[in-house]
Amino acid sequence: MSKKVSLTGIKPTGQVHIGNYLGAIKQALQLSDQYDARYFIADYHALNIVKDKQEMSDSTYGVAATWMACGLDPSKVLLYRQSDVPETFELSTFLMGFTAKGLMNRAHAYKDKKQKNEDAGKDSDFGVNMGLYTYPVLMAADILLFNTDIVPVGKDQVQHVEITADIAGAINHCYNDELLTIPKPILNSSSEVVQGMDGRKMSKSYDNTIPLFMAPKKLRKLVMKIVTNSQEVEEVKDPETCNVFAIYKLFANEQEQEALKERYLAGGLGWGHAKQELFEMLEATFADKRERYDELMNDKSYLDKVLKEGAERAREISSATMNRLRKASGIGC
């Protein structure tokens, strides 16, 4: 029996950070042992935000290099760029005919933007482009085009997979045939929000991220800026309310966590000491990966080759899906 399909995408918007690694990359790579794993660079999704040509190009290469530096083997799994698969956009148009506007009105990203505008006294749709509004439809196309069974996501993305399932169900019902696989979300095993440098969710929009492959000196300087309270060195500190420990424990094993926790509770641990422990943990985790990432980013021709080969394999699958839908709907017959 063939393996079920898992699909993961990541937008090339700025530097990949440790929240991306923990929330998507690490789990998605682990799923490749159990599933027929497919990974894509969502550059058209990024177009809602990134308007600079060089930034888009650099970030796209950066995402590809990141996946491979973290362990993705393009000879064993499928890695492709969204924009290299035109069937994605054909399917997106097809799905529009089966997508209720009410679904788009309830999508988290649109509702959040609308609420922020209203709170600021602006028109509710100020700054909202159709790419943002129809984001869930394009995401549905990404998923459905590749017969996806499961989509590893964070809690904030579960709704998009549910919307995808609703649209696919409507199409299957309309044509009385199982034309599209109904996907299911799968949450990160920890399903925890990765905390940023200021205690809020780690997010590029909050500018509180820790980039995955930052040079050691810059990384240490950044870690030292993590927000802490004004307690003195000799005071007992609570690790469970500390931004530094919250990030540290995501990478440390139980023994390492307990050892640092004891130092917090014993007193005599300054914030600089705690941040140094975190810096060393991050270095131990990512130094080798950073070296591989730098090698890949210095060999763009190899990255181009990998993405070209991935696109060719992806189009074999996507063309079959669209041919099935065209035949069922009478389009192009």
Entry pTM: 0.87
User: Annotated active-site positions, please?
Assistant: 113, 201, 204
Q: How far is CA 305 from CA 9, 60, 310, in A?
A: 19, 14, 8
Q: For position 22, what pLDDT does the model report?
A: 87
Q: For position 333, what pLDDT does the model report?
A: 67
Amino acid identity, position 195: Q
**Of residues 17, 28, 27, 69, the one with CA closest to residue 195:** 17
Q: What angle do CA 184, 179, 38 make, to 5 degrees?
A: 50
Q: For the chain (length 333 residues), average pLDDT per consecutive 10?
A: 88 87 85 92 93 95 95 95 97 96 91 91 93 94 97 86 96 97 83 83 89 96 96 95 95 96 95 97 97 97 98 97 97 80
Task: Identify any residues that bridge with 37 across adjacent strands, giving them in sequence order.
Answer: 6
Query: Torsions phi, psi of 117, nearest 5?
Result: -65, -45
Q: For position 130, what pLDDT does the model report?
A: 93
Tens-digit pLDDT profile for residues 73-101: 999 999 999 999 999 999 999 999 999 99
- CA dist 333 and 135 (Å) reads 29
Query: Torsions phi, psi of 97, nearest 5?
Result: -70, -5
Give the other-Cβ count within 10 Å of 186's Cβ. 18
Judged on CB neighbours under 10 Å (0-12, 13-18, 19+), 274 is buried
**What is the share, in percent, of the chain residues with pLDDT greater than 90?**
83
Looking at every residue in the chain, the average pLDDT score rounds to: 93
Q: Compute and round to an integer the Cα radius of gyration of the chain.
A: 22
- CA dist 66 and 297 (Å) reads 9
Q: Which two tokens stand for residue 294?
A: 């730098």
Task: Identify any residues that bridge with 185 across adjacent strands, giving them in sequence order.
Answer: 151
Q: Tokens 């299957």 identify what position?
A: 172
